[in-house]
Amino acid sequence: MREQWKTLLLSVLVLLSFLLSLGIWSSTPQYESVDAPQFASTVITDPSHQRTLGEVTHPRSLILHFGGDKHTAVFPGQSGYGQGMDVLRQANFFDLRLESEFGEAEWQKMIKEERGLEVDFGTDMPASILETAGVLKFTSHYDPTMQVKTLYLFNGQAGEADLRALFYGSVERKMYSARVILPRQPYATLFDSLTNLTPYQMFGQSLHRHFYLPQGRMKVPQYAVELTEPEQEKGVMEAFFVDQSLIRQVLVRDGSEILTDGIRVVESKDNILTYRNITPSSQLIRKTEVDVGISKALAFANEHGGFLMEPVVLYEPPLSRNSNGEGHTFQFRPYVGGTPLVDPLALVYVNLIDSEVAKMQRPQIAIGSKPYQGKEQELMSGTQLMTRIENSVFSRNRITDAYLAYLLEEKGQDGYANLRPVWIVEQKGEWGSGIFDAITGEELHDKEVVLNGLE
């Protein structure tokens, strides 16, 4: 009898095990979705500190060619720049094609003999980004890899009613031509209204290496900006970390404060905040997707402090790219009176590797958004600057760019710091960048870090 009960109990257990197993295999477990890790919210949420893609991808200068080798230039924030941008936004570009027959002779004729508009972005911009930002309007298909550093608008051939356009990218040295539909009246009015501006002279005899400097000694206002050192809330530094519980604090002898979670490091030193991602995730990103990097760099900067001054122009130093083309360091430069402020206490840098933010650097000091304008100061002419350059380590034939910029001087007791005008010179080779005082011509050797981004 006992054996029969054991057999019955065993049979029940086997049946129950079978039914439970069947239930497990036949049911679908419900999983909760797990969001990707996000950075903590920053303590700076003022919408006025945010910048859109269109606000940072506008050209750094518009060069007007009047014919007869006469030129002038307008810059962001100056009178005439907005008018020129309005004209550019009315242009429709179509029938784009890769240009292989356009040479140096044709380029020389275009900028010296004809009337035309040269749009200089200062750095190579993906055409897709410029279209998304509303700077350029394409009405036909274009090469998705197309880069634009300089755009030329000029008259078409005899009998053509439309204007012509030439797009030039300096990295791969590709040119694209296009036809342009643009109302002639605002285009003609732009030239008529800007004839009395400071004359500029072209230096360099190559499409790949040329720049414009004022023909004579130019006068500019002496600007000063208010500098304040607000008490930094701890949340500003903590906002760079995903998991706040992993943060540990380190205080270095030189006075710098460091927060780290073992992967990310945020350092506060000398009014500069530096973020580093030690192990950025490795992703396969094609070189044509640099526009993804531009958008990500801007979004990251907006989310971690934003910008105070405006306008702000995006710039990528030529020496910032990795040899494989996947690393990019973007500078966001504020402009004062049409001139970029390139001092480290004004710039925001974002470095990307494989489309991931590997490093960021931004000032902790607050710069007043309304510069004080004082008496005028006279600057060296372009010819005088070139004479200084020829007596330095720079080679005139290798210079790729030269332009006016500002550095911050020491803050006075009134809380204001004067802006020191300087000429920035960039060239190919070991001595890639240099700075010359725009009034005295003195070469400044201790400011190269300003030019090449994150060192």
- 66 and 197 inside one domain: yes
Asked whether residue 152 carries a pLDDT value surpassing 90, the answer given is: yes
Q: Is residue 6 part of a domain?
A: no
Distances (CA, A) of 290 to 64, 320, 346, 363: 30, 13, 24, 25
Question: Is residue 348 domain-shared with residue 444, that is, in the same domain?
Answer: no
Classify residue 32: in a domain, yes or no: no
Asked which of 367, 392, 414 is the last residue of a domain, the reply is 367
Residue-wise pLDDT tens digits, 171-220: 778 899 999 998 889 999 999 999 889 999 998 777 778 899 999 999 99
In a domain? residue 193: yes
Same domain, 62 and 210: yes
**Alpha-carbon distance 212 to 232, whole Å?**
42
Any domain includes 287: yes
313 in a structural domain: yes
Instruction: Among 214, 235, 256, identify where a domain stops.
Output: 214
Within a domain: 57: yes
- Quote the number of domains for the chain: 3
Q: Are residues 60 and 208 in the same domain?
A: yes
Lowest mean pLDDT among 29-33, 75-79, 335-339, 366-370: 29-33
Does 107 lie in the same domain as 68? yes
pLDDT above 50 (res 363):
yes
Residue 154 lies in a domain: yes
Question: Domain limits at 403?
Answer: 370-450
DSSP lists the bridge partners of residue 166 as 152, 177
What was the pLDDT predicted at 74? 95
Do 197 and 60 lie in one domain? The reply is yes
Whether residues 354 and 301 fall in one domain: yes
Same domain, 325 and 378: no
Looking at the structure, do residues 314 and 382 belong to the same domain, yes or no? no
C-alpha distance across the termini of the chain, in Å: 89
pTM of the model: 0.82
Please tell me whether residues 237 and 347 are part of one structural domain: yes
The model's pLDDT over 234-258, given as tens digits with 9 standing for 90+, comes to 567 777 877 777 787 777 767 788 8
Q: Provide the pLDDT confidence category of residue 455 given band limits of 50, 70 and 90.
A: very low
Residue 397 has pLDDT above 80, yes or no: no
Asked if 167 and 83 sit in the same domain, the reply is yes
Bridge-partner residues for 392, per DSSP?
Answer: none
Stretch 359-369: mean pLDDT: 85
Give per-residue pLDDT as tens, 401-446.
899 999 999 888 888 999 999 999 988 755 567 899 999 988 887 5
Note the pLDDT of residue 33.
Answer: 47
Q: Which residue has the tokens 């031509």?
A: 177
Question: How far apart (Å, rounded) are the C-alpha atoms in residues 34 and 51?
Answer: 30
Residue 41: the pLDDT is 46
Mean pLDDT along residues 393-398: 76
What is the pLDDT averaged over residues 8-31? 64
List, in order, residues 6 or more apart from 274 with CB less than 8 Å away.
266, 267, 359, 360, 361
- What is the per-residue pLDDT for 37? 46
Which of 156, 185, 214 terminates a domain? The answer is 214
Which range has the worst mean pLDDT, 79-93, 109-123, 322-336, 389-403?
Answer: 322-336
Alpha-carbon distance 34 to 240, whole Å?
Answer: 20
* Integer Cα distance of 448 and 399 in angstroms: 16
CATH number at residue 270: 3.30.310.160
Question: How does residue 142 score in pLDDT terms, banded at 50, 70 and 90?
Answer: confident
Q: Other C-beta atoms within 10 Å of 350: how many?
A: 28
The more confidently predicted of residues 236 and 451 is: 236
User: Is residue 450 within 8 Å of 435, Cβ to Cβ?
Assistant: yes
How many Å apart are CA 112 and CA 268, to the nearest integer? 50
Instruction: Give residue 326's pLDDT.
Output: 58
Task: Determine the pLDDT at residue 29.
Answer: 53
The pLDDT value given to residue 277: 86
- Note whether 339 and 428 are same-domain residues: no
CA-to-CA distance for 49 and 46, rounded, in angstroms?
6
- pLDDT tens digits along 61-93: 999 999 999 999 999 988 899 999 999 999 999
Q: Indicate which CATH number applies to the domain containing 384.
A: 3.10.450
Q: Is residue 1 part of a domain?
A: no
pLDDT tens profile 30-54: 544 444 445 544 445 567 788 999 8
